[in-house]
A and B are shown apart, each in its own frame.
Chain A
Amino acid sequence: EADIYQTPRYLVIGTGKKITLECSQTMGHDKMYWYQQDPGMELHLIHYSYGVNSTEKGDLSSESTVSRIRTEHFPLTLESARPSHTSQYLCASSERAGLAGVSPNEQYFGPGTRLTVT
């Protein structure tokens, strides 16, 4: 099982609050990702990072922001939560492709954070 952690697992918060979803991995992976997933729907990439001080927006437009100050840590922040932000947020990480014994683009997922904004 992969060593990637997300906190909190569940969060219910009121509209307008600032929230930070935490994601940490202890595998020393360079790449990290944030996905958003609604029930019965596919995962959508909202942010990714190639390494420290590198962050990019994904396919799905998101009002959230991310930072990558340390290799193991990739927090996601919503400055002002809204009901439309209600969703499951999944964090993932992957090793650089080409290393011996490592499947290319093998992503390991955290358990997710279920966010509900009331």
Chain B
Amino acid sequence: QSALTQPPSASGSPGQSVTISCTGTSSDVGGYNYVSWYQQHPGKAPKLMIYEVSKRPSGVPDRFSGSKSGNTASLTVSGLQAEDEADYYCNSYTGSDNVVFGGGTKLTVL
């Protein structure tokens, strides 16, 4: 199972919006509405931000939103804040109890 494809980097200024893509195939992202997104600050464990493509767990700000079109899922961070600077990873269910992660995107707040 190949990793999902994410851009290595993304950036935006405070207050702006930025969107990170996550591209897979019809066997993972396109085949299931089971995509999640994680935020990871340096030296820390990842944090679940989005699940089931667009749902937010309790406590995650509504500045974070998710969507999917075909084989590509997206995470949008609106109203960028300094603390949003982190690495972001997507993952997708691939069937048969398997999951695959994306390669990660480093988000820089300018």
Task: Say whether A associates with B.
Answer: no
